[in-house]
Structure 1
Amino acid sequence: MDRFPLVSVILPVYNVEKYLNVCLDSLLNQTYKNLEIIAVNDGSTDKSKEILESYIGRLRKFKIINQKNSGLSMARNAALSYITGKYLYFLDSDDYLLSNTFENLVTSAENYNLDLIRFNANVILDSDLSENYFAVGGNYDDNGILISNKIYGINEFVHLNTNRKIFRPAVWLYFYKSKVIIDNHIKFWPQIKHEDELFTPMVLKYCNRIAYDPNKYFQRRLRPNSIMTSDINADFMSFVSKKVIIEILNSERENNKIFNKFIIFRLSVIYESMLNYKVMYKKNLLQSIDELSMLKKFFIRLKYVVKKQIKKLLKKMKGKKYEIKNNL
Structure 2
Amino acid sequence: MTLELKKMNAPLVSIVVPCYNVEKFITKGLESVFKQTYKHWECIIINDGSTDNTESEIEKWTKQDQRFTLITQQNKGLSGARNTGLKNVNGDCILFFDPDDLLDENCLKSLTDLYQPEIDVVMGKSAEVYNQTTSILKTLEHYTITDKTLSDINFIELSIETPFSVVAWNKLYNSEFIFSNNLTFEDGIVHEDELWFFQTMYLAKTIIFNSEVTYYYNIGNQSSITKNYSLYNLKSYLTVIEKIFSNFYTPEKNQDSKIITGTYILKFQITVVSAFFRFAKKNKNITFKSEAEDLIKKHLTDFNVTDYKNKNAKELKQYKLFEDYGKINPETAFKLIRNIDKNTILKRIESIYLKYTFKDKL
TM range (shorter): 0.7 to 0.9
Query: Runs (4+) of structure 1 moved beyond 3 Å?
Result: 255-262, 278-286, 295-312
Whether 1:169 aligns to 2:166 is yes
Whether 1:12 aligns to 2:12 is no
Greater mean alpha carbon deviation, residues 190-199 or residues 274-283: 274-283
Q: What is the DSSP-based 3-state SS (H/G/I as helix, E as strand, rest coil) of the residue aligned with 2:27?
A: helix
Mapped partners of 2:141, 2:301: distance in 1: 34
Amino acid paired to 2:11: P
Give 1:228 deviation, angstroms.
Answer: 3.2
> What are the equivalent positions in structure 2 for 1:233-312 lying under 5 Å apart?
235-251=230-246, 252-253=248-249, 254-257=252-255, 259-272=257-270, 273-277=272-276, 278=280, 282-284=289-291, 286=293, 288=294, 291-296=296-301, 305=310, 309=314
1:54-104 residue CA offsets vs partner (Å, 9 max, x unmatched):
111433422211111111000001111111100100000111101111122
Mapped partners of 2:39, 2:66: distance in 1: 8
Whether 1:41 aligns to 2:47 is yes
Contact 1:20–1:94 (CA<8 Å) still a contact in 2?
yes
- CA-based RMSD of the aligned residues comes to 3.0
Match in the other structure for 1:125: 130
Mapped partners of 1:59, 1:260: distance in 2: 49
Give 1:150 deviation, angstroms.
Answer: 1.7
- Distance change in 2, residues 1:76/1:173 (3 Å): same
Match in the other structure for 1:317: none
> What are the equivalent positions in structure 2 for 1:185-264 lying under 5 Å apart?
185-222=182-219, 223-230=221-228, 232=229, 235-251=230-246, 252-253=248-249, 254-257=252-255, 259-264=257-262
Unmatched segments (≥5 aa) in structure 1: 128-133, 313-328
Mapped partners of 1:84, 1:150: distance in 2: 27
Q: What is the DSSP-based 3-state SS (H/G/I as helix, E as strand, rest coil) of the residue aligned with 1:146?
A: coil
Mapped partners of 1:298, 1:309: distance in 2: 23
Query: TM-score, structure 2 length as denominator?
Result: 0.73
Contact 1:205–1:259 (CA<8 Å) still a contact in 2?
no
Mapped partners of 1:74, 1:123: distance in 2: 26
Match in the other structure for 1:318: none
Mapped partners of 1:261, 1:303: distance in 2: 4
- Higher relative contact order structure (alpha carbons within 8 Å, sequence separation ≥ 6): 1
Q: What is the DSSP-based 3-state SS (H/G/I as helix, E as strand, rest coil) of the residue aligned with 1:270?
A: helix
Mapped partners of 2:181, 2:303: distance in 1: 30
- Distance change in 2, residues 1:310/1:94 (3 Å): closer
Give 1:13 deviation, angstroms.
Answer: 0.5
State, as a whole percentage, how many aligned pairs show the same letter.
26
1:188-208 residue CA offsets vs partner (Å, 9 max, x unmatched):
000101101111111122221
Give 1:265 deviation, angstroms.
Answer: 3.2
Give 1:161 deviation, angstroms.
Answer: 1.1
Contact 1:161–1:262 (CA<8 Å) still a contact in 2?
no
Amino acid paired to 1:206: L
Match in the other structure for 2:80: 74
Unmatched segments (≥5 aa) in structure 2: 281-285, 318-362
Mapped partners of 2:114, 2:46: distance in 1: 28
Give 1:308 deviation, angstroms.
Answer: 5.1
Give 1:175 deviation, angstroms.
Answer: 1.1
1:275-301 residue CA offsets vs partner (Å, 9 max, x unmatched):
442489844554x5x642433578877
Amino acid paired to 1:93: P
Q: What is the DSSP-based 3-state SS (H/G/I as helix, E as strand, rest coil) of the residue aligned with 1:109?
A: coil
Mapped partners of 1:86, 1:191: distance in 2: 28
Mapped partners of 1:228, 1:11: distance in 2: 18
Match in the other structure for 1:64: 70
- Distance change in 2, residues 1:17/1:239 (3 Å): same
Mapped partners of 2:257, 2:225: distance in 1: 29
1:161-211 residue CA offsets vs partner (Å, 9 max, x unmatched):
1123x1421011311101111111110000101101111111122221111
Greater mean alpha carbon deviation, residues 51-60 or residues 191-200: 51-60
Whether 1:116 aligns to 2:115 is no
Mapped partners of 2:308, 2:157: distance in 1: 21
Amino acid paired to 2:140: Y
User: Which of the numbers 153, 157, 166 marks the counterpart of 1:159?
Assistant: 157
Give 1:225 deviation, angstroms.
Answer: 2.4
Contact 1:114–1:177 (CA<8 Å) still a contact in 2?
yes
User: Which of the numbers 8, 29, 40 marks the counterpart of 1:23?
Assistant: 29
Q: What is the DSSP-based 3-state SS (H/G/I as helix, E as strand, rest coil) of the residue aligned with 2:205?
A: coil
Give 1:154 deviation, angstroms.
Answer: 5.2
Query: TM-score, structure 1 length as denominator?
Result: 0.79
Mapped partners of 2:125, 2:149: distance in 1: 17
Greater mean alpha carbon deviation, residues 86-95 or residues 168-177: 168-177
